[in-house]
Structure 1
């Protein structure tokens, strides 16, 4: 029997979208007509979401109204999720996030876009704290989304520089073409299942270590290297074993991931961790040298995961919370794709090629 081949749908156009474009050859990410560098680090998350949702989700009252509605969503979600705290306490943060979001019905008041984005923020913070044995903190609707997420995670009023860094991260990961979780959201949306169902399905695609679960191991790698002087030897040995260098290489980008430099700049504005950043830069330089020597025919460069891990670490986010933090930023992108897919009104139903045995025919 012929064994099935893995087909990753590379270069297959599955949708037309006006939301984002990923140019892997040029190393460019366009969000609603803007390079990611024009938005990330320059506008708060709410402003980027308002731009991204234009034409898909009504945002009456502009950015201020969106910020207010997201804050109200956080408050409403905290009350809705409170009865589930005991069940979530024994789960990992991403599984706790899934539990909380699964409590939102399609007809729920939390099922509208702004409230749902707010709900993901508070659910992620609750899930992270519960996984560490800490009681969740109620949201403060007067704060921005980034500021309130940091406060709910740490229990402290965040420094403005930390809020700006998280805003940069959330904008950077707002959308990224037809990645696995976004495609999952669109498939579910095409069945008219409803916005909360599409978001929960997307979260489960994001959970996988080949997608949103990837940044944490970057820190494991840095811990194992330990010092800049050990970087070249450690990385060369890893490549000789056939190991993947975490934070390097991308399925789409053939050059440097533009999001990496946006996040690197954001970390550079945090002045409280110069030693850690200098060490990470030394590892980056060593990794690029080793990759160039080991895989000269296939250029590999840094991707978004490397500096994502360092930024979230600097903000005090535990490694198990990295994927829920990713979901906080990406959910607004999922929402827009769901609305775009719903407007198309056609179920996504690709074909497969059968390679199994054929039935025996009687003589």
Structure 2
């Protein structure tokens, strides 16, 4: 029996995360991902994913310092960013610069220092290139800021609002890892050949670039904009449902209940009700769920992580072309955790295919 796309095929055992779509659960190494997003920093969760334990104060300071030191572009990397065609998309830019990091030190098996170099640098690549294309001067990293706060600082040149940092940090934590998705599988396949970490992450970025995987939640932005223009969530949502249009940001191919990442982001952003974008997102979600139950009974359609991702990225005024790159900046940590796990008990990943072509005459 052929399982197209390997759907339902178990290709690995992993201690990193559990994605249970029927129960609406997301677990990172025995901890609820939602709890981590509410209580831990990005740096703490990355360390936890990579080391199976949370760092004490001294270890966290050392780990955070290493990530901070990894933010700085080398001169050759700046030259690459300056010379790449201006019409090259951001995902291809990230892929190219990360690929250039492959050197004699990035050997098999992968090390945490190699992972730190990648996670630390991706936000700087995005910020440098974005400001370059907008004819703005580069904003050097600020070592006094956290990983997520510094990303926003480099993009805009001003210290970000605390609620924006908290919301984006939660988003980064909740999208850091999500089982054996396409990009993570790509990274593990490459790692299984005993190739280096840079090659594995370069391949993962290539998979993330595809619109079926890392596509930006622009449809949600369009929906929220339409509701804002018309001034009525009920009217817009009801019209779309009656016309059999899909409500962008609702429903998920895995989760048959409310996406636990959306639930966590909803809880966190509900604390910032003075923010008009978050307020609108909550009001629209409540109305959409009400109408979906009325007009599509039994379908169990709820907000997914893309819905609240759009609300957060919209609130911090992140351009839509940076949505997937920002997702990539978060997911790098999960990819690296999987490469480490693959390295620990490696066997080359080599599925079979069924030949359906012609057989030559004997």
- Global fold match (TM > 0.5): yes
- Please give the alpha-carbon distance, in whole angstroms, between the structure 1 residues aligned to 2:192 and 2:298: 40
Contact 2:216 2:320 in 1 (8 A): no
Q: Is 1:86 the counterpart of 2:82 in the alignment?
A: yes
Evaluate the alpha carbon distance shift between residue 281 and residue 38 of structure 1 in structure 2; reply closer, same or farther with a 3 A threshold: closer
**Residue 222 of structure 1 is aligned with which of 221, 224, 240?**
224
- Please give the alpha-carbon distance, in whole angstroms, between the structure 2 residues aligned to 1:188 and 1:334: 11
Structure 1 gaps, min length 5: none
Evaluate the alpha carbon distance shift between residue 71 and residue 6 of structure 1 in structure 2; reply closer, same or farther with a 3 A threshold: same
- Please give the alpha-carbon distance, in whole angstroms, between the structure 2 residues aligned to 1:361 and 1:125: 60
Shift of 1:177: 1.0
Corresponding residue for residue 212 of structure 1: 214
Task: Describe the SS at the equivalent of 1:353.
Answer: coil
Structure 2 gaps, min length 5: 107-111
For 1:84-116, what per-residue CA distance to the aligned partner results, in whole angstroms no more than 9, with x for missing partners? Answer: 232344323222222221221143579711121
Corresponding residue for residue 93 of structure 2: 96
Evaluate the alpha carbon distance shift between residue 334 and residue 60 of structure 1 in structure 2; reply closer, same or farther with a 3 A threshold: farther
- Please give the alpha-carbon distance, in whole angstroms, between the structure 1 residues aligned to 2:336 and 2:17: 13
**Residue 151 of structure 1 is aligned with which of 150, 153, 159?**
153
- Please give the alpha-carbon distance, in whole angstroms, between the structure 2 residues aligned to 1:297 and 1:353: 38
- Please give the alpha-carbon distance, in whole angstroms, between the structure 1 residues aligned to 2:296 and 2:5: 23
- Please give the alpha-carbon distance, in whole angstroms, between the structure 2 residues aligned to 1:38 and 1:92: 35
Evaluate the alpha carbon distance shift between residue 352 and residue 177 of structure 1 in structure 2; reply closer, same or farther with a 3 A threshold: same
- Please give the alpha-carbon distance, in whole angstroms, between the structure 1 residues aligned to 2:273 and 2:279: 12
Contact 1:189 1:338 in 2 (8 A): yes
Evaluate the alpha carbon distance shift between residue 294 and residue 209 of structure 1 in structure 2; reply closer, same or farther with a 3 A threshold: farther
Evaluate the alpha carbon distance shift between residue 175 and residue 121 of structure 1 in structure 2; reply closer, same or farther with a 3 A threshold: same
Contact 1:97 1:127 in 2 (8 A): no
Evaluate the alpha carbon distance shift between residue 353 and residue 48 of structure 1 in structure 2; reply closer, same or farther with a 3 A threshold: same
Contact 1:228 1:283 in 2 (8 A): no
**Residue 260 of structure 1 is aligned with which of 245, 262, 281?**
262
- Please give the alpha-carbon distance, in whole angstroms, between the structure 2 residues aligned to 1:80 and 1:67: 25
Spell out the pairing of 1:235-274 with structure 2 (5 A cutoff).
235-239=237-241, 243-270=245-272, 272-274=274-276
- Please give the alpha-carbon distance, in whole angstroms, between the structure 1 residues aligned to 2:19 and 2:204: 19
For 1:43-97, what per-residue CA distance to the aligned partner results, in whole angstroms no more than 9, with x for missing partners? Answer: 11111111111159x999511111111111112x354421023234432322222
Task: Describe the SS at the equivalent of 1:21.
Answer: strand
Task: Describe the SS at the equivalent of 1:41.
Answer: helix
Shift of 1:13: 0.9
Evaluate the alpha carbon distance shift between residue 264 and residue 80 of structure 1 in structure 2; reply closer, same or farther with a 3 A threshold: farther
Q: Indicate the RMSD between aligned Cα atoms, in angstroms.
A: 2.7
- Please give the alpha-carbon distance, in whole angstroms, between the structure 1 residues aligned to 2:291 and 2:263: 20
Evaluate the alpha carbon distance shift between residue 84 and residue 68 of structure 1 in structure 2; reply closer, same or farther with a 3 A threshold: same
Task: Describe the SS at the equivalent of 2:19.
Answer: strand
Number of aligned residue pairs: give it: 355
TM-score normalised per structure 2: 0.89
Contact 1:92 1:127 in 2 (8 A): no
